[in-house]
Copies of this chain bind each other. A is one copy, B any other.
């Protein structure tokens, strides 16, 4: 169980899993599929992950962590509040939903967030929420909590109406502008 070697294999498995889950969805992807794509035998997978759910959870965590990293970085950029919020939304909600919807079965990610992968999703969401709240509060917002809710929840409505097109991105931009205006 050497550290770097094991991480390499774990990542190979997660890469393979992402491809298969995206193509077939969680239910229709077998451990055999993942093993083949990762170029190892099926039993070997069980030395790195407990089961299929565990693989999915780890994969989701990797995706969410990366998006959160970029989104929070956008808040720290040298520009005005509107641009910062827009950058944040584009990284967090925009890129993520695009990634989900560009493949079949992106819905599985959403489902999982309310199921066994909820702890993972909740943890990252908490980080996002805290960073955003702090940023708005230090900018002197009247009610930072309400602004955070609006920024994080409104995009769900946009997505429901139209999950794919450029209009979604445009609406994120309008949202950033509106919140920025009501903060200052």
Contact = CB atoms under 8 A, between A and B. Distances in A.
Interface of A: 143, 146-147, 149-150, 153-158, 160-161, 170-171, 174-175, 177-179, 181-182
Contact of A174 (B146, B155, B158, B174): B146
Contacts of A174: 143, 146-147, 149-150
A171 B157 contact: no
A181 B150 CA distance: 14
A146 B169 CA distance: 12
Contacts of A149: 158, 171, 174
Across the A-B interface, give the 7 residue pairs with the lowest CB-CB distance, nearest first: A156-B157, A154-B154, A153-B157, A146-B174, A181-B182, A157-B157, A178-B182
B150 A175 contact: yes
A128 to B, nearest CB: 14
Given A178-B182, A182-B182, 14 more contacts: A146-B170, A147-B174, A149-B158, A150-B154, A150-B171, A150-B174, A153-B171, A154-B157, A156-B156, A156-B157, A156-B160, A156-B161, A157-B158, A178-B178
A134 to B, nearest CB: 19
